[in-house]
Amino acid sequence: MLRVFRCLLATAVAASPLSAISAEKVDLPNTLAMTAYGTGSAGYSQMVSIGNLLQNEYGTAVRILPGENDVSRMTPLKTGRVPLCACGIASYYGSEGVLMFADPNWGPQPIRVITTSIASFGLGIAVAGDIDVKSPKDLKGKRVSWIRGDDALNLGTEAYLAFGGLTWDDVEKVEFPGYGRAFEGIISDQVDTAFTVSVAPPPQQLAASPRGIVWPELDPNDKEGWKRLQAVAPYFQPHKVTSAAGEYSKDNPWIGASYPYPILVANADTDPKLADSLIRVFHEDFDKYKDAAPGNGGYSLDSQNLEWVIPFHDAVVAYYKEIGEWTDAMQAHQDKLVKRQNILMQTWKTYTGNNPPSDEEAFRDGWMDARATALEAAGMNPVFR
């Protein structure tokens, strides 16, 4: 879905003027490989711009392997072929061992965050502008799209419904074979909603259609609403969206939600020297690359959520402590996330070592039950069931 962020590669490659001072204590290899989204994506363009900086400032050649789906992006990280992945929210699913990662070949992964980007766009339910919907609770009784085979989109919709105190039982669920078809369905008055990125072409087309577009608002002060939403999809966070299809702008933002993209991740055992060097570059060289590709501004320190849903690499934690940006509350949150991941990985080891079902669906169901039992025993929310 995030591949819709199209931009010219030349824009990404064109680095902003470089000052004479580079980040200190940076020790990078001569060559650095990573995976990312496809060549037309924002994530790829951003990594190209970072690669340009690393080459010019530190003599490090960056090799980016574009992957067309989550598994193809994360497999080289899992196998050790690359130390980094500029991933999407699938990195969270991988750390939890759910959805496409509730598979005998995967299971929960020891993923750690290096840094993330939160840009001006948001993620939410695009709603036809002619049905008087202002907030998720107004979707009751409306025709809501459900995309076959796309767990992330459907979870996003479910999370927004939960914010409004609704479930799939409170709406008319209309199934579509794909994301694009759902938007065609809105325009042709077959359905009223579709989950998407706020700047994607399909919502732009909807905004230009006779039905128009609206983005239901999520009041950041509605603590109960956010609690319900994050019980379904804890990776969402409140966001003032200034780039969205329709009549939205910096002067008229959509008060909605987002989550980071890309999410630059490594494995827990990734070389601390590499992780330390990268976070120093991302933070200390920010002014050199912030305008080099669309979305690069989202890597700023004040855009980082240091109490998110995936633990940070130990070297990144050490760096934030060094610069005085790490609190006791952040450390407690980090420790809880690491404990959660250790529980998941041990539970996976036990489950797969006890002759689990060979049938794919039975294997997944058994794993999800074992996972939920282990997390609940530790007083943690399984989230996925």
**Average pLDDT, stretch 375-380?**
97
pLDDT in the model for residue 17: 39
Angle of helix 360-377 versus helix 328-352 axis, rounded to 10? 140
**Average pLDDT, stretch 173-198?**
94
The two structure tokens encoding residue 88: 């999407």
Q: Name the more confident of 151 and 133.
A: 133
For the ranges 143-152, 185-194, 265-274, 319-328, the lowest mean pLDDT is seen at 143-152
pLDDT in the model for residue 24: 81
Question: What top-level class would CATH report for the domain 123-256?
Answer: alpha beta
The model's pLDDT over 49-93, given as tens digits with 9 standing for 90+, comes to 999 999 999 999 999 999 878 888 999 999 999 999 999 999 999
Percent of residues, the chain, with pLDDT higher than 70: 94
- 342 falls in which pLDDT band (50, 70, 90)? very high
> Which among 204, 216, 206 is positioned nearest to 171, based on CA atoms?
216
pLDDT in the model for residue 61: 98
pLDDT in the model for residue 58: 97
Residue 13 confidence (pLDDT) above 50 = no
Contact 2, 91 (CB under 8 A): no
**Average pLDDT, stretch 230-245?**
95
**Average pLDDT, stretch 119-134?**
95
> Which among 378, 113, 380, 146 is positioned nearest to 270, based on CA atoms?
113
For the ranges 145-159, 200-214, 339-353, the lowest mean pLDDT is seen at 145-159
pLDDT in the model for residue 21: 61
Beta-strand pair 143-147/172-176:
parallel
Contact 270, 83 (CB under 8 A): yes
pLDDT in the model for residue 3: 41
Q: Which CATH superfamily is domain 2-118+260-331 in?
A: Periplasmic binding protein-like II (3.40.190.10)
Give the C-alpha distances (Å, rounded to integers) separating 312 from 16, 136, 168.
Answer: 28, 32, 34
Please state the domain extents for the chain: 2-118+260-331, 123-256
Angle of helix 42-58 versus helix 272-284 axis, rounded to 10? 100
**Average pLDDT, stretch 318-345?**
98
Let me know if the fold of 2-118+260-331 is the same as that of 123-256: yes
